[in-house]
Amino acid sequence: MENFIFNIPTKAFFGKGQLDNLAAGIKEFGGSRVLLAYGGGSIKSNGIYQAVLEQFSKAGIFHVELSGIKPNPPIEDVYEGIRIYKENNLNFIVAVGGGSALDAAKAIAAGAKYDGDVFDLISGKVAVTNAAPLATVLTMAGTGSEMDMGGVITVGEEHKKYAILHPLLNPKFSILDPEYTYTVPTHHTMAGCSDILSHLMEQYLRPDEDAEVSDRMNEGVMKVVFDNAPKLLQNPQDYNARANIMWASSMALAGFQFMSGKKFGAFPVHAMGHELSSLNDMTHGITLALITPAWIRYTLKVAPQYTPMFARFARNVFGVTETDDTKAALMGIEQLEGFYQAIGMPSRMGDAGVEESQLEYLAEKATEFGDIGTMSPINKAEALEIYTMAW
Ligand code: NZQ
Ligand code: ZN
């Protein structure tokens, strides 16, 4: 098992009515002049915006707004947030929304305390050394941004996705009210479930199998997602299903898995999925559902020494009883594909609007900074093979 430091610095206020803790939380961390960052307006139509403003007004908290943060947030939204933060002499950030609003807010938090171009920090050319304090009010479960140290920002004409990562970017606290996710459209709810699963699978399906505590926890959280996503298809206002999916989102990237005895390394499915979003703005969770089965099939083919691990995944998560490892592993993939289909994810990249002629470009971009493999090398040629299998 790898060495690790276990420290999750984000306080979670979980459950109905927890927004009541917002103002006190802001003040606890010295906030009085707040940048309120949010997306395209869903929080206005479902009442969350008004509820947040009420909290500010009761506590006498001054605020300025950055609205209209786009999905797969572009760096231009980050620049705008930094400008507003600095010009108004603000001292705290509250992000309300899904991963896009939260991620933009994290990059703003880093850029607000940096004198140069925030792209230096986003690209990793310069390390983050300071950040404005940030809290989140989560309205869509999936990315884990509410509990982790990362943010994903889209940059430039090619829409390349960069991850800005630093423990200083962990929210000081996050308000997690499952009722706030009732209005998320089914399509996005299910894409969020796919994202949670991918975070869990990309940490579980790694060579270091001796991190048993992480792996057993991981299997449990995966089962929660497999069990509860279909409940939300039936009833989007099933509180317990919303609550379990929301907490699964937070737990999947909070550090229990990848920081607790597993090697920290590439997330190949995410790297390949991000290129699909870059190409045509595809929803993040959908890209992962498209790539994951192909990536597992490919890995089984080129790195058969990991077959027992895939068989364990099939048995412990899906209850497969087959004793032959190869057969069990394949049955696990079929179960996974069946799940994606049941929750309405497209199963082929071709059906999702990707042209066959674009696959080589995708493979080139996914590996432009080097090999993205975990169990087997994935350079351009291998990435092309996986994209082709998924197409
Ligand atoms: O913009 P608004 O109007 O708020 O609408 C959003 C958006 O259109 C809507 N929505 C959110 N909450 C809602 C709601 N609609 C109705 N009711 C609500 N309660 O949902 C749409 C999608 O929102 P978005 O924030 O884009 O989705 P998601 O949470 O999936 O975030 C995706 C982004 O997160 C990044 C992805 O790459 C992508 O850019 N990721 C961030 C990670 C992290 N920080 O650790 C890890 C992930 O792997 C991922 O890469
Ligand atoms: Zn993800």
Per-residue pLDDT of 340-374, as tens digits, reads 999 999 999 999 999 999 999 999 999 999 999 98
Distance, in Å, from the CA atom of 233 to the CA atom of 190, rounded to the nearest integer, reads 8
111 Cβ closer than 6 Å to some ligand 1 atom: no
Q: What is the DSSP letter of 167?
A: G
39 Cβ closer than 6 Å to some ligand 1 atom: yes
pLDDT > 80? residue 256: no
pLDDT > 80? residue 90: yes
Q: Which atom of ligand 1 is nearest to the CA of 69?
A: 1
Pocket test for ligand 1, best of 42, 148, 232 (most atoms within 8 A of CB): 42
Closest CA to 72 of 367, 280, 268, 247: 280
List, in sequence order, every residue forming a beta bridge with 153; answer none if it has no partner.
Answer: 162
Q: Ligand 1 center to residue 350 CA distance, Å?
A: 24
Record the tokens describing residue 95, joined without a space: 């992000």
Record the tokens describing residue 191, joined without a space: 């894409």
Name the residue at shortest CA distance from atom 47 of ligand 1: 143
**How far is residue 89 CA from its own chain's centroid?**
30
pLDDT > 80? residue 335: yes
pLDDT > 70? residue 205: yes
Going through the chain in order, the beta strands assigned E by DSSP cover 11-14, 33-38, 62-66, 92-97, 134-138, 150-155, 160-165, 173-176
Give the ligand with the smallest distance to the CA of 152.
Answer: 1
142 Cβ closer than 6 Å to some ligand 1 atom: yes
Q: What distance, in Å, lies between the first and last C-alpha atoms of the chain?
A: 36
Q: Ligand 2 center to residue 331 CA distance, Å?
A: 24
List, in sequence order, every residue forming a beta bridge with 150; answer none if it has no partner.
Answer: 165
The pLDDT assigned to 18 comes to 98
List, in sequence order, every residue forming a beta bridge with 14; answer none if it has no partner.
Answer: 176
List of long-range contacts for 113-120, beta carbons under 8 Å, 24+ apart: 118/75, 118/78, 118/79, 118/82, 119/75, 119/155
Name the residue at shortest CA distance from atom 39 of ligand 1: 72
Distance, in Å, from the CA atom of 357 to the CA atom of 378, rounded to the nearest integer, reads 20
Q: Which atom of ligand 1 is nearest to the CA of 270?
A: 48
Q: What is the mean pLDDT of residues 222-227?
A: 98
pLDDT > 90? residue 310: yes
The pLDDT assigned to 258 comes to 62
Distance, in Å, from the CA atom of 129 to the CA atom of 127, rounded to the nearest integer, reads 6
180 Cβ closer than 6 Å to some ligand 1 atom: yes
Is 122 exposed, middle or buried, given 0-12, 13-18 or 19+ CB atoms closer than 10 A? buried
Distance, in Å, from the CA atom of 31 to the CA atom of 64, rounded to the nearest integer, reads 13
Per-residue pLDDT of 100-117, as tens digits, reads 999 999 999 999 999 999
The pLDDT assigned to 338 comes to 98
The pLDDT assigned to 96 comes to 98
99 Cβ closer than 6 Å to some ligand 1 atom: yes
Could you tell me what percent of the chain has a pLDDT over 90?
92
Per-residue pLDDT of 132-189, as tens digits, reads 999 999 999 999 999 999 999 999 999 999 999 999 999 999 999 999 999 999 999 9
**Confidence band, pLDDT 50/70/90 cuts, at residue 2:** confident
249 Cβ closer than 6 Å to some ligand 1 atom: no
Name the residue at shortest CA distance from atom 7 of ligand 1: 71
pLDDT > 70? residue 229: yes
Distance, in Å, from the CA atom of 43 to the CA atom of 202, rounded to the nearest integer, reads 31
202 Cβ closer than 6 Å to some ligand 1 atom: no
List, in sequence order, every residue forming a beta bridge with 151; answer none if it has no partner.
Answer: 164
Q: Mean pLDDT, the chain, as a whole number? A: 96
Phi, psi of 26 (to 5 degrees): -60, -45
Distance, in Å, from the CA atom of 6 to the CA atom of 344, rounded to the nearest integer, reads 36
The pLDDT assigned to 259 comes to 61
Give the ligand with the smallest distance to the CA of 196.
Answer: 2
Q: Ligand 2 center to residue 250 CA distance, Å?
A: 12
Pocket test for ligand 1, best of 96, 103, 187, 201 (most atoms within 8 A of CB): 103
Could you tell me what percent of the chain has a pLDDT over 70?
99
Record the tokens describing residue 164, joined without a space: 């800005």
Question: What are the structural domains of the chain?
Answer: 11-180 (3.40.50.1970), 198-390 (1.20.1090.10)
The pLDDT assigned to 300 comes to 97
Give the ligand with the smallest distance to the CA of 277.
Answer: 1
* Model-wide pTM > 0.75: yes
Closest CA to 297 of 332, 344, 268: 332
Pocket test for ligand 1, best of 10, 140, 246 (most atoms within 8 A of CB): 140
